[in-house]
Chain A
Amino acid sequence: MTMTLNRVSVPVIVDEGKCIADKGCTVCVDVCPLDLLAIDLLKGKAYMKYDECWYCLPCETDCPTQAIRVDIPYLLR
Chain B
Amino acid sequence: MSNIIAEVDVLVIGGGTAGPMAAVKAKEKNPAAKVMLLEKAHVKRSGAISMGMDGLNNAVIPGHATPEQYVKEITVANDGIVNQKTVMAYAQESFNMINQLDRWGVKFEKDETGDYAVRKVHHMGTYVLPMPEGHHMKKVLYRQLKKARVEITNRYMATRLLLDEHGAIAGAMVLDTREGTFGVIRAKAVILSTGAAGRLGLPSSGYLFGTYENPTNAGDGYALAYHAGAELSGIECYQINPLIKDYNGPACAYVTGPFGGYTANSKGERFIECDYWSGQMMMEFYKELEGGNGPVFLKIDHLAEETISNIETILHTNERPSRGRFHEGRNLNYRTGMVEMHISEIGLCSGHSASGVWVDEHAATTVPGLYAAGDLACVPHNYMLGAFVYGKFAGESAAEYAAGRTLAPVDAAQVAQEAARVLGPLNNAEGFTPTQVEYKLRRFVNDYLQPPKVSRKMEIGLQRFAEIGADLPFMSATNPHELMRAMEVHFIRDCAEMAARASLYRTESRWGLYHYRVEHPEKNDADWFCHAQLKKNAAGDMTCFKRPIEPYIVPLDDAEKDAYNRMRIVKQAAVA
The B203-253 residues at the A interface (CB cut-off 8 A) are: 205-211, 214-216, 246-248
User: Does residue B155 face the partner (Cβ distance < 8 Å to A)?
Assistant: yes
Stretch of B38-46, B76-84, B257-265, B410-418 at the chain-chain interface: B38-46
CB < 8 Å neighbour of B216 from A34, A49, A62, A76: A34
- The verdict on A75 contacting B206 (CB below 8 Å), with A34-B215, A61-B51 known, is yes
The A42-77 residues at the B interface (CB cut-off 8 A) are: 49-50, 52-58, 61-62, 70-73, 75-77
Q: How distant is the Cα of A34 from the Cα of B488 in the complex, in angstroms?
A: 12
Q: How distant is the Cα of A72 from the Cα of B247 in the complex, in angstroms?
A: 8
A71 to chain B, nearest CB (A): 7
Within 8 Å CB of B47, what residues of A? 33
Most buried by B among A1, A55, A57, A73: A55
Knowing that A1-B429, A58-B51 are A-B contacts, what are 19 other residue pairs whose CB atoms are under 8 Å apart, sorted by A's residue number? Answer: A1-B476, A30-B44, A31-B42, A31-B45, A32-B41, A32-B42, A33-B41, A33-B42, A33-B216, A34-B216, A50-B481, A52-B208, A55-B322, A56-B50, A56-B51, A56-B214, A72-B322, A76-B205, A76-B247
User: Does residue A9 face the partner (Cβ distance < 8 Å to B)?
Assistant: no
Within 8 Å CB of A35, what residues of B? 41, 155, 177-178, 481, 484
- The verdict on A73 contacting B45 (CB below 8 Å), with A1-B478, A35-B481, A58-B50 known, is no
Q: How distant is the Cα of A32 from the Cα of B46 in the complex, in angstroms?
A: 8
Q: How distant is the Cα of A50 from the Cα of B45 in the complex, in angstroms?
A: 18
Q: How distant is the Cα of A29 from the Cα of B365 in the complex, in angstroms?
A: 35
Which residue from chain B places its CB closest to the CB of A71 in the assembled complex? B325
- Name 25 interchain pairs, CB-CB below 8 A, sorted by A: A2-B430, A31-B42, A33-B42, A33-B45, A33-B46, A33-B50, A33-B214, A33-B216, A34-B216, A35-B155, A49-B481, A50-B481, A52-B209, A53-B209, A54-B214, A56-B320, A57-B321, A58-B50, A72-B247, A73-B207, A73-B209, A73-B210, A75-B205, A75-B206, A77-B330
Interface string of A21-38 (1 = CB under 8 A from B): 000000000111111000
Within 8 Å CB of B208, what residues of A? 52
Asked if B209 and A34 make an inter-chain contact with CB atoms under 8 angstroms apart, the answer reads yes
Within 8 Å CB of B429, what residues of A? 1
User: Does residue B337 face the partner (Cβ distance < 8 Å to A)?
Assistant: no
Interface string of B272-307 (1 = CB under 8 A from A): 000000000000000000000000000000000000
Q: How distant is the Cα of A16 from the Cα of B42 in the complex, in angstroms?
A: 24
How many residues from A make CB contacts under 8 Å with B? 26
Q: How distant is the Cα of A62 from the Cα of B136 in the complex, in angstroms?
A: 12
Q: How distant is the Cα of A42 from the Cα of B155 in the complex, in angstroms?
A: 24
User: Does residue B552 face the partner (Cβ distance < 8 Å to A)?
Assistant: no
Asked if B207 and A30 make an inter-chain contact with CB atoms under 8 angstroms apart, the answer reads no
User: Does residue B431 face the partner (Cβ distance < 8 Å to A)?
Assistant: yes
**Interface range on chain B (Cβ under 8 Å from partner):** 35 or more
Q: How distant is the Cα of A70 from the Cα of B326 in the complex, in angstroms?
A: 11
CB < 8 Å neighbour of A70 from B322, B428, B478: B322
B432 to chain A, nearest CB (A): 10
Within 8 Å CB of A52, what residues of B? 208-209, 215
Within 8 Å CB of B321, what residues of A? 57, 61
The B385-415 residues at the A interface (CB cut-off 8 A) are: none
A62 to chain B, nearest CB (A): 7
Which residue from chain A places its CB closest to the CB of B329 in the assembled complex? A77
The B26-48 residues at the A interface (CB cut-off 8 A) are: 41-42, 44-47
Within 8 Å CB of A1, what residues of B? 428-431, 476, 478
Asked if A76 and B481 make an inter-chain contact with CB atoms under 8 angstroms apart, the answer reads no
Which residue from chain A places its CB closest to the CB of B41 in the assembled complex? A33
Q: How distant is the Cα of A30 from the Cα of B178 in the complex, in angstroms?
A: 11
Interface string of B440-474 (1 = CB under 8 A from A): 00000000000000000000000000000000000
